[in-house]
């Protein structure tokens, strides 16, 4: 089974900060990696798929990179609406696996 390890589990930041969240996969999973944003009481929202493709309608301040075992979600300039929990997700023809989540909170 694929294991997904996200870091950090909590991140304190201010509006305007550049934020980076990491996701490590074991073993390698090519580029079948997605990122989601979730706010309390709401369903997850897809931000990025295939590691670096921005979902339609998602602001360009969000970007994804990486392949193989190391992946990164970057928010170039944190906005008030971005305080939320973020999950990475591996998806392939057999199963899905989610990271444990990273909560981005107000510093």
Partner 1 sequence: EVQVVESGGGLVKPGGSLRLSCAASGFIVNNAWMSWVRQAPGKGLEWVGRIKSKTDGGTTDYAAPVKGRFTISTDDSKNTVYLQMKSLRTADTAVYYCTTMSETARGVWGQGTLVTVSS
Interaction site with partner 1 (CB under 8 A) = 34, 36, 38, 43-46, 49, 55, 87, 89, 91, 94-101
17 versus 63: smaller Cβ distance to partner 1: 63
Q: How many other CB atoms are there within 10 angstroms of residue 10's CB atom? A: 10
Q: How far is the CB of 55 from partner 1 (least distance, A)?
A: 6
Nearer Cβ to partner 1, position 49 or 71?
A: 49
Residue 81 tokens read as 């609406």
CB of 81 to partner 1, least distance (A): 18
Q: How far is CA 36 from the centre of its chain?
A: 6
The Cα–Cα gap between 85 and 45 comes to 10
Tell the smallest beta-carbon distance from residue 36 to partner 1 (Å).
8
Cβ distance to partner 1 smaller for residue 17 or 55: 55
What DSSP designation does 10 have?
E
**Residue 98: burial class (beta carbons within 10 Å; 0-12, 13-18, 19+):** middle
CB of residue 78 vs partner 1: minimum separation in angstroms? 22
């Amino acid at each position: 089974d694929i294991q997904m390890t996200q870091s950090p589990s909590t991140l304190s930041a201010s509006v305007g900060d550049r934020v980076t969240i990491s996701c490590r996969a074991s073993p390698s999973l090519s580029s079948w990696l997605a990122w989601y944003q979730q706010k309390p009481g709401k369903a997850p929202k897809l931000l990025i798929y295939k590691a670096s493709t921005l979902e339609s309608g998602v602001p360009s301040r969000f970007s994804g990179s990486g392949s193989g075992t190391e992946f990164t979600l970057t928010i170039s300039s944190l906005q008030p609406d971005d305080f939320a929990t973020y999950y990475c997700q591996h998806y392939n023809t057999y199963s899905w696996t989610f990271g444990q989540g990273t909560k981005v909170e107000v510093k």
